[in-house]
Structure 1
Amino acid sequence: MTGQEQIAAMLDRLVAAGEIAGAATLVWRDGRVVQHAAVGWSDRENQVPLRRDSLFRIASLTKPVTAMAAMVLMERGRFRLEDPIIDIAPEFAGMRVLTSPAGALDDTVPAVRAITFEDLLTHRAGLTYGAFHPGPLAAAHAAALGGDIDSVMSPDAWIAGLASLPLVDQPGAGFHYGHSTDLLGQLLARMEGVSLGTLLHRLIFQPLGMADTGFTVSGLKRDRRAGLYGFDPDGALKRLAVAPGGATVEDRPADMTYESGGAGLWSTLDDYLAFARVFLDRPGLDTLRLVRPETLALMTTNRLTADQRARATTMGMPTFAPGNGFGLGVAVVTDPDSAAVMHGKGGVGTVGWPGAYGGWWQADPTDGSVMILLQHNMVELEGLMKGHGLAGYGAIQQFHSLAPAA
């Protein structure tokens, strides 16, 4: 059985067992697509199959796209990495830092310096996601920001709301996964005087031909949206109206102006391939280039200290394997032997980043390959603690192990 057949069979087994509704995969190597599969259902209840061009909410696969837009504007002289963001967002002057993320919101000390653009691009701004923390911080985030993806706040109100919250660490001190990329996207949009969606279309989607990627899905494409699937309290697969935690609304209204540069995009296999190929600036390949090679090298070089990597946690678990670091908006492989698949496992310089809804990708410049898996494996935090949805994340590991033979 070929690698392509093994990948499809693996996904078929998960669909038949009710572990996932479906998934789409793609491997690009040697300048061409060598594997793709769309297995399972876009609409499980009505037996509508997934397609290669099915549209998925890609959650945090959005973050590298926003980071790349920042690199384009940085090259154009719009900001420097060391610039304080208060030049664009004075709302963030005089920030306070919690003495404990689980403590009282008024138990703070002054920030020792301003947040910089590099802090946002490396998740060292002291920003977080409220849901990661017990105590009053979660409720304060929800009240100040609205939904994590589809927020009713205007961009300016959202920026002001985030600035009203205390930080969980001093700027530059440590890696804390959270709203840094959302804020980065809003600052880019503010400095250019357009919406984030317009800016990403201009800087990324149009140059790369990503016609199916955006914060909304137009009426003509709505039948290509993959259904949202999660799990009921007993772990049975369940169709969802909105994403876990109320992060999204069922249908984004036309007057919703906030756009999440950290998690809000819809995309397809082939569109995301066009983006991932930008990281394969390698002799002999048909290179898609958005930034200069030296800027790409800056983006794909680990910028965290050994201590910052070791101390980084997400929901109480270590964020990084020993062989993974973080550059500007993307995880980076520093040691192939001790890297972990979830954040990229390939040659030195391989980049990628996973999404909360089960999407995953990596681009390996050492062999010129891209791997992408998209699915809607939408697990509530409580369900995840019970083991719900683990098979969907396991599919990423299996896909990675089978892809080289495809």
Structure 2
Amino acid sequence: MEVETNPKEVGLCPDRLERVDAWMRRYVETGRLAGLSVAVMRGGKTAFFRAHGQADLARSRPFTADTILRIYSMTKPLTSLAVLMLYEEGRFQLDDPVSRFLPEFTEMLVMTGGNRARLETEPALRAITIRDLLTHTSGLTYGFMEATLVDALYRRDEIDFQTSNLPLGELVARLARQPLLAQPGTEWNYSVATDVLGHLVAVVSGQDFGEFMRARILRPLRMHDTDFFVPQEKRDRFAANYAFDREGRLRLYDDSVGSRFLTPPPLASGGGGLVSTAGDYLRFCRMILNLGELDGVRLLGRKTVELMLTNHLPGDLAAMGQPRFAESSYAGIGFGLGVSVMLDPARAQIVGTPGEVSWGGVASTSFWIDPDEDMAVVLMTQLVPSSALPLRRELRVLTYAALES
């Protein structure tokens, strides 16, 4: 990906964008990040793209424009796009029970208390809908939360869409046998819901989910380096993933050699299975800003994109129970169909625009799209967890500060 325009031509201050470059260099020079890239697009043109540091410290591979990274939960908006494409084909309505297509989710139970020896449950008051899955209000959870009895059941039964050796349908069936954490529609809980949506796409389309994504989204958008694994010929561009040790120094979390992302997985995880590049993901952002179309290829209609970017919660995340984890803050932030939605920058205590959408991945990758400003930003790096550094909030301030008109 190359810079396509002088920042001033799209209303961005070049001097202020250089603050982003200095910020990037500081993180690398102080050893808090191995490497990172930042891309800023406005008016459909890339006005800033820089990469600094190393993609692989042990092998001295530089972090470049085409470095391939684990984007984890930045997979979710693309899976949600797949669901909405089928919605536009008239295959289902958003308020349809998912059990219409996945009967294993019929007559779900909801945890009410108890302990590991004896869990207390009650029947779900209503069915889980497709919209519930898109908005993380289904009552599902993640096993890695380690906060509730339901989380513990997920870990006991090895319900992990990232590492499982089971086919997608079998793992979803195992998931459906677990109780829900909350009544459908009542709480916002980050969850494996988007992995269930991947299976829904496969069942409704009659096509393997991974191949649906390649054929219907990734190839049409020319996201050529985005897939559920890194092929042999691209392995020298694959980054290592890092975490901090107890002394705050970078340690290897997942090597670029021997990683599970180097071979086709038993299942394609719609919740976190993709690898990608900054340039590829910026093409997805550009398609959203263009209201469903890019370079003559239309994936969604304008009204469906508008629906996707609208808050579907009765309030913000903070009003929907007690979120235990999210790739977002809670106050002032709502949730659309697969993306968070800025409702109130003052409540969120961060500069931004009502209606701006975003999400991130556990390895500190992030993106946001601001339709009002006709702007998108993509941050790529590899550091787990995403809460280790305030990268997203800092970069948000730096990029918005560069707006001149």
TM-score of the aligned structures, taking structure 1 as reference length: 0.88
Tell me the residue number matched to 1:53: 66
Tell me the residue number matched to 2:56: 43
Map residues 91-102 of structure 1 onto 2, 5 A cutoff.
Answer: 91-100=104-113
Tell me the residue number matched to 1:268: 277
Tell me the residue number matched to 1:310: 319
For 2:154, which of 135, 138, 141 is the aligned residue? 141
Secondary structure in 2 matching 1:2:
helix
8 Å CA contact 2:229, 2:263 repeated in 1 = no
Deviation, structure 1 residue 152: 0.9
Tell me the residue number matched to 2:10: none
Distance change (3 Å), C-alpha of 1:154 and 1:318: closer
Q: Partner amino acid for 2:363?
A: Y
Map residues 357-368 of structure 1 onto 2, 5 A cutoff.
Answer: 357-368=363-374
Tell me the residue number matched to 2:195: 182
8 Å CA contact 2:133, 2:197 repeated in 1 = yes
Q: Distance in 2 between matches of 1:318 and 1:226?
A: 21
For 1:2, which of 15, 34, 44 is the aligned residue? 15
Deviation, structure 1 residue 161: 1.1
Deviations, residues 66-90 of structure 1 (Å, cap 9, x unaligned): 0011111100011110111111111
Tell me the residue number matched to 1:324: 333
For 2:392, which of 392, 396, 399 is the aligned residue? 396
For 1:351, which of 352, 357, 369 is the aligned residue? 357
Deviation, structure 1 residue 328: 0.8
Distance change (3 Å), C-alpha of 1:288 and 1:183: same
Deviation, structure 1 residue 149: 1.2
RMSD: 2.7
Secondary structure in 1 matching 2:95:
coil
Secondary structure in 1 matching 2:220:
helix
2:254 matches 1:241: yes
Distance change (3 Å), C-alpha of 1:103 and 1:305: farther
Which deviates more from structure 2 when the two are superposed, residues 305-314 or residues 108-117?
Answer: 305-314
Deviation, structure 1 residue 198: 0.6
Which deviates more from structure 2 when the two are superposed, residues 30-39 or residues 330-339?
Answer: 330-339
Distance change (3 Å), C-alpha of 1:166 and 1:242: farther
For 2:79, which of 22, 41, 66 is the aligned residue? 66
Deviations, residues 228-264 of structure 1 (Å, cap 9, x unaligned): 1112233210112379xxxxx8235757321110111
Deviations, residues 295-332 of structure 1 (Å, cap 9, x unaligned): 11111111101276413433379965443211111111
Deviations, residues 65-118 of structure 1 (Å, cap 9, x unaligned): 100111111000111101111111111112110014976663111111111101
8 Å CA contact 1:145, 1:161 repeated in 2 = no
Query: Which runs of no fewer than 5 residues in structure 1 stay unpaired?
Result: 244-248
Q: Distance in 2 between matches of 1:198 and 1:105?
A: 41
Q: Distance in 2 between matches of 1:101 and 1:269?
A: 46
Distance change (3 Å), C-alpha of 1:37 and 1:307: closer
For 1:128, which of 116, 132, 141 is the aligned residue? 141
Q: Partner amino acid for 1:180?
A: A
Tell me the residue number matched to 2:310: 301
8 Å CA contact 1:321, 1:338 repeated in 2 = no
2:150 matches 1:154: no
Q: Partner amino acid for 1:108?
A: T
Query: Which runs of no fewer than 5 residues in structure 2 stay unpaired?
Result: 1-13
Q: Distance in 2 between matches of 1:273 and 1:51?
A: 15
8 Å CA contact 2:241, 2:363 repeated in 1 = no
2:94 matches 1:88: no
Secondary structure in 1 matching 2:38:
strand
Q: Distance in 1 between matches of 2:325 and 2:83?
A: 30
Distance change (3 Å), C-alpha of 1:305 and 1:320: farther
Tell me the residue number matched to 2:121: 108
Deviation, structure 1 residue 162: 0.5
Secondary structure in 2 matching 1:73:
helix
Q: Distance in 2 between matches of 1:148 and 1:191?
A: 20
Q: Partner amino acid for 2:362?
A: A
Distance change (3 Å), C-alpha of 1:258 and 1:144: farther
Q: Distance in 1 between matches of 2:154 and 2:340?
A: 26
Q: Distance in 2 between matches of 1:254 and 1:226?
A: 15
Q: Distance in 1 between matches of 2:300 and 2:204?
A: 19
Map residues 13-32 of structure 1 onto 2, 5 A cutoff.
Answer: 13-32=26-45
Distance change (3 Å), C-alpha of 1:298 and 1:322: same
Identity score, percent: 36
Q: Distance in 2 between matches of 1:350 and 1:16?
A: 32
Q: Distance in 2 between matches of 1:318 and 1:31?
A: 26
8 Å CA contact 2:133, 2:194 repeated in 1 = yes
TM-score of the aligned structures, taking structure 2 as reference length: 0.88
2:217 matches 1:204: yes
